[in-house]
Amino acid sequence: MNKKTLDLLEFDVIRSKVAALSMSGEAATTILSDTPRLDRAETENLKSLVSSVMDRVNILGSEKRESLPDIGGLFSRLDVEGMMLEIDEAYAFGIFINRAETFRQWLLKPMPANKDFTAPVDQVSKTASCLPVCADVSAAVFRVLDHEGNLRDLP
């Protein structure tokens, strides 16, 4: 796809509007840097996955939507053995992981068997089942911090 076609389709305008709806700065950055897919099989797979998620939203209701703290800068630091996070960084990490786990659980929720779906719903569950379970990580953070980000009074 060439630049003229993208300009005619107002791709940058649409991409900016979608990025503005994202739940985190990292998601917005990813959306703004994304380009149209040219591989037909990849495009069909992504369309099917989005259709499956929309079936889930229409039947089960939307997942809990809350903004996410930016934690992208923490990952390179977490690779360093013995690295410690500041309290606000640990809190942001705990919130992010907690919300990711809630979303993963929503994706794994069973769908009613008697509905007609526009796409194979098991594709969502299959994809979600590959995601790591992070409940223990979030629980570890919130054993030390309360849900407002304050250090708990521990012995």
Map the chain to HEC letters: CCHHHHHHCCHHHHHHHHHHCCCCHHHHHHHHHCCCCCCHHHHHHHHHHHHHHHHHHHHHCCCCCCCCCCCCCHHHHHCCCCCCCCHHHHHHHHHHHHHHHHHHHHHHCCCCCCCCCCCCCHHHHHHHHCCCCCHHHHHHHHHHECCCCCECCCC
| pTM of the predicted model over 0.85 | no
Per-residue pLDDT tens over the stretch 115-150: 565 545 567 888 889 999 999 999 999 999 998 999
Per-residue pLDDT tens over the stretch 12-29: 999 999 999 998 888 999
For a pLDDT cut of 70, what percent of the chain falls above it? 94
Mean pLDDT, residues 64-82 taken together: 85
